[in-house]
Structure 1
Amino acid sequence: MTIDSYQARKAKALAMGGPEKLARRKAAGILNARERIDRLFDAGSFIESGLFGASLADPDRSAGDGKIAGFGRIEGRDVAAVANDFTVMGASSAATNGRKIGHIKRVATSRGMPIVFLGESSGARMPDHMGSRGMGALLGNDPTQYVRHREVPWAAATLGLSYGSSSWYSVLSDFNVIRKGAVLAVSSAQLASLAIKEKVDPEEMGGWQVHAEVTGFADAVAETDEEALDLIRTFLSYLPSHQREAPPVRPVPAGSGSGMADIARLLPEKRTQVYDVRRIIRAIVDAGSFFELKARFGKVISAGLARLDGRTVGILANNPLFRGGAIDTDACDKAASFLVLCDSFNIPLVLLVDTPGFLIGIDAERRRAPGKIMNFMQALQLCTMPKLSVILRKTYGQAYLNMGGGRNSDEVAAWPSAEVSFMDPTYAVKIVHGLSPGEPGFDEAFAQMNKDSEPWDIAAMYAVQSVIQPHETRAYLIRMLDVHRQRLTNGVGEHLMRAWPTSF
């Protein structure tokens, strides 16, 4: 083969689906697969695997077989990636590109580097997979294709119409960002319309609002491809490259902790008044470091990654701004999924507690509340990373345990404003005495029910290890996280939930 022949083949592979398709994407303001790779990785660091891959059935139309794969660096760390090239046969899944994905996964897992999946695919390639021979080629060759043992972090972006395996990798990932206008679903709206015999709108079936607010499959929402890729880079900055190392340490930004002197003012004096716990989180953690996950889903709990003194922590906090902080079934799923992430990748937990308990009623029971509550509880108890709880205001009943009470955290601290009891004293008065607020005798009964809820008795019996002033919280957490640092294992946990399914 001559140099000219080689260069011609290379140019054809790099041309992807051709200039017309690429121009249409550019006009629509959507990056193509190679532009996405360039945005994701440090400049000049990408080395491609499988540039000359193609469909043996139609090599002239299948540059790269519709998927671009390889390895690059993000902030100097090696990361593997697969980007679907929708300009080539709709990035449909086929034999050659399946081998490329399998190779990338094997290398990344065995060599300890994160994997990024950039999703935009029409699903399985037809007619290649029709009939028994097609199914034999598609299935059975890799029995671990969709198994997650969380040896390395996975991140994904849903950046267009995303069906079939592109969706599978998105929901299996530890972080999935969806761009507005993209669709994540089992199959296309056309096929769904045929199946249910009525017209299906793609956005209603699997658009960003569905997955950000209803299913919880979207950890973040982006306006553009560029924003989505930047979010993946940010997410990975909190995580280790693999499960056998601690997360990276970053310099502490200037101004961190400057809001601690006034933090008590963020907590309303009235016990029933709502507030946004995220303001308290941001005051405590390193400046600008709170990276919230699933912000639109299960909003009664705020979950996210942050840094304290430069070290990655997971924050799980009740948010009274929504439903007074009463924990619903979506929040249970969100909390359990987050605990799995933190335990799998050696991230200590900080729980900020202010909840009246679990949301109850007919709808909650039909949404399987008992099972969801116990999944949350199981995840907390199986988490082998250090866990610190701080009771800001109220914590009642089973939620006291789910939020780290009863030795379900390694240390429990309370602000002087904390209230700990079996249930809200207002409800207790109603149940025991049949009295409601404003009725004669209610105030006396309420005072009796509420008198032992302050933190002093529970601290006296050492069920709370510390009572701290609000302004001491950041310093307390930093010091106690250092006390509980896992010196014997270099910060690495047992990963008891490494195979826990998070696709819920």
Structure 2
Amino acid sequence: MTIDYELRHEERRAHALGMGGERKLTARAERGELNARERVARLFDDDSFRETGLFATSNVDADQHATPADGKVTGTGLVDGRRAGAIAYDFTVKGASSGAVSNKKMGHLKDLTARTGMPLVYLAESTGVRMPDVMGGTGLGNADDRARFLRRRTNPWASAVFGYSFGSAAWHTVSSDFAVLRKGAVMAVSSPQLVGRATGQQVDGQELGGWKLHSEVTGFADAVAATDEEAIALVRRFLSYLPAHNGEAPPVAPIPEGSAARGSRLHDIVPPERTNVYDMRKVIEVVADLGSVFPIKERYGKSLVTSLCRIGGQSAGIIASNPMFKGGAIDAAACAKATSFIVLCDSYNIPLVFLVDQPGFLIGLDGERGGIVGKVINWMNALSLATVPKVTVMLRKNYGQGYVNMGGAWTTDAAAAWWSAEVSFMDPRSAVGVVHGIDPAADPRLYERKLAEMAKDSTGYDVARVYGVQDVIDPADTREFILGALEDNALTRTGGVGEHHLSTWPTSY
């Protein structure tokens, strides 16, 4: 009998591309959700995807025909003309549960992208491990997970979470350099149903691990999207700021017309009185190239802003106080946010810029219970280990240990103060109370005299007098100072590549 190899091949190919079947695919489309292959198509440039493992199935004979591609769509393609890898969880195939074969596919993509130097994107939606495959001692005894979730940050990882994401979908997401959660998504160790059976607690999925929890409480979500399409667009945009791997400098983009000569706006944005609040994000928009600001963890630790952007066409990371929230006082969440961002930027050769207007760290019961002491020193260690160019500009108030963590005391390579800067160990008003215990209402003249003593020598010019900053500047010249400092401190001898001392820093803490 003659075998029609072409026909057999096309039948197998059609079965694999059919995923979990027309009924499941139609139901997803009716809910406005893309399927795994549609997500891959959105991620990559047109006609650039090259799949690996199309004909893989479960190694369990009974599941062979029910597991097209074994529930994972894997391969490489182009993102804005640069090659990247992708692992898309196909929820229509056994809930995208992970088995031995799909784990081999994922492991191959992780090894390939790390070895060749290309970003890796996870398009996550999964019920977790495929339970029948791992039950019993033989199931777990066959595992070899020594380096399965090891991160050395040799190449960027980005994740988009679309629906229920448990098990490896969650592990890969919190191991990533960037994670976006679609509204309605749930990311947790286990499903609400399993939690209910194990603990007796009836837990709502959003309460357990919803997008609000991870964007506002845990900080695991770097961004939030309303739709699948928006989530994938955010991943593509994030990758545009990063190099393909840690051995090269980030890409340089054209400078949009009108990006310069906007500095005078800062006189109107920032009130000269240190007690008047303003939105630091407006300052960042003026300093950065037009349209280039990309917030990271915008809903978390709001007294501190972290954003990727471009300044003069080159990628930069901004860490900035925001007096709009808690007066700019730095809480435990903001500390963790700053540390995570320093690790990201240093790992991928992105210079850091600090814009400072802070009254110090948030003290009190909530701060201490949130572990702020350890988080302050984690931040300090990360800053000390970072080898990318670092620049700081002090706008108004800059007190205490926050002065050090935000780039003072020569923890950055270049520093300037606005002519409105006020620098001291603490707010002089607080210092009067601590040192002298004076009630301003009881003895206002004595209070004012002691306040003047405490406020003495606290201007930007006083810091400059002892070379604590290299310049005192007109706020309008902020962008020009940063551009010059980045040029002076560029890693030209190594082609813009840092030393990556933070490459194995924990991704979640």
Question: So what's the TM-score if we normalise by structure 1?
Answer: 0.98
Rounded to whole Å, the distance in 2 between the matches of 1:408 and 1:6 is 62
Task: Return the letter of the residue paired with 1:380.
Answer: L
Counterpart in the other structure of 2:424: 421
Q: How far 1:263 sits from its partner (Å)?
A: 1.1
Rounded to whole Å, the distance in 2 between the matches of 1:362 and 1:220 is 29
Q: How far 1:436 sits from its partner (Å)?
A: 4.4
Counterpart in the other structure of 2:23: 20
Rounded to whole Å, the distance in 1 between the matches of 2:409 and 2:261 is 32
Q: How far 1:437 sits from its partner (Å)?
A: 4.8
Counterpart in the other structure of 2:481: 476
Task: Return the letter of the residue paired with 1:502.
Answer: T
Rounded to whole Å, the distance in 1 between the matches of 2:294 and 2:45 is 21
Counterpart in the other structure of 2:81: 76
Q: How far 1:198 sits from its partner (Å)?
A: 1.7
Counterpart in the other structure of 2:98: 93
Match of 2:344 among 341, 345, 348: 341
Q: How far 1:447 sits from its partner (Å)?
A: 2.0
- Alpha carbons of 1:80 and 1:443: their partners in 2 closer, same or farther (altered >3 Å)? same
Counterpart in the other structure of 1:283: 286
Rounded to whole Å, the distance in 2 between the matches of 1:413 and 1:56 is 62
What are the residue-to-residue correspondences of 1:355-370 with 2, within 5 Å? Answer: 355-370=358-373
Q: Over the residues paired in the alignment, what is the CA RMSD in angstroms?
A: 1.0
Please list the CA deviations of residues 393-429 of structure 1 after superposition, one character each: whole Å capped at 9, or x if unmatched: 0111111110111110101100000001010011011
Match of 2:331 among 319, 322, 328: 328
Secondary structure of 1:30's partner?
coil
Q: Is the 8 A contact 2:51 2:73 kept in 1?
A: yes
What are the residue-to-residue correspondences of 1:95-134 with 2, within 5 Å? Answer: 95-134=100-139
- Alpha carbons of 1:437 and 1:33: their partners in 2 closer, same or farther (altered >3 Å)? farther
Task: Return the letter of the residue paired with 1:84.
Answer: Y
Task: Return the letter of the residue paired with 1:219.
Answer: D
Q: Is the 8 A contact 2:59 2:100 kept in 1?
A: no
Task: Say if 2:490 is the partner of 1:485.
Answer: yes
Q: Is the 8 A contact 1:429 1:436 kept in 2?
A: no
What are the residue-to-residue correspondences of 1:306-455 with 2, within 5 Å? Answer: 306-439=309-442, 440-441=444-445, 442-455=447-460
Please list the CA deviations of residues 171-222 of structure 1 after superposition, one character each: whole Å capped at 9, or x if unmatched: 0000000000000000100011112112111110000000000000000000
Please list the CA deviations of residues 265-307 of structure 1 after superposition, one character each: whole Å capped at 9, or x if unmatched: 1111221111110100001100011101000101111001000
Moved more, 213-222 or 360-369: 360-369
Rounded to whole Å, the distance in 2 between the matches of 1:375 and 1:464 is 24
Counterpart in the other structure of 1:49: 52
**Count of paired positions:** 502
Rounded to whole Å, the distance in 2 between the matches of 1:366 and 1:200 is 25
Task: Return the letter of the residue paired with 1:471.
Answer: A
Counterpart in the other structure of 1:4: 7
Secondary structure of 2:507's partner?
coil
Task: Return the letter of the residue paired with 1:456.
Answer: Y
Task: Say if 2:456 is the partner of 1:463.
Answer: no
Q: Identity rate of aligned residues, in percent?
A: 52
Counterpart in the other structure of 2:273: 270
Q: How far 1:471 sits from its partner (Å)?
A: 0.7
| Structure 2: segments with no counterpart, 5+ residues | none
Rounded to whole Å, the distance in 1 between the matches of 2:326 and 2:313 is 33
Rounded to whole Å, the distance in 1 between the matches of 2:372 and 2:59 is 51
Q: How far 1:108 sits from its partner (Å)?
A: 0.5
Counterpart in the other structure of 1:202: 205
What are the residue-to-residue correspondences of 1:159-198 with 2, within 5 Å? Answer: 159-198=162-201
Q: How far 1:438 sits from its partner (Å)?
A: 4.5
Secondary structure of 2:134's partner?
coil
Secondary structure of 1:128's partner?
helix
Secondary structure of 2:181's partner?
strand
Counterpart in the other structure of 2:160: 157
- Alpha carbons of 1:353 and 1:436: their partners in 2 closer, same or farther (altered >3 Å)? farther
Rounded to whole Å, the distance in 2 between the matches of 1:135 and 1:180 is 34
Rounded to whole Å, the distance in 1 between the matches of 2:284 and 2:392 is 13
Task: Return the letter of the residue paired with 1:192.
Answer: V
Q: How far 1:352 sits from its partner (Å)?
A: 0.4
Q: How far 1:254 sits from its partner (Å)?
A: 1.4
Rounded to whole Å, the distance in 1 between the matches of 2:422 and 2:95 is 57
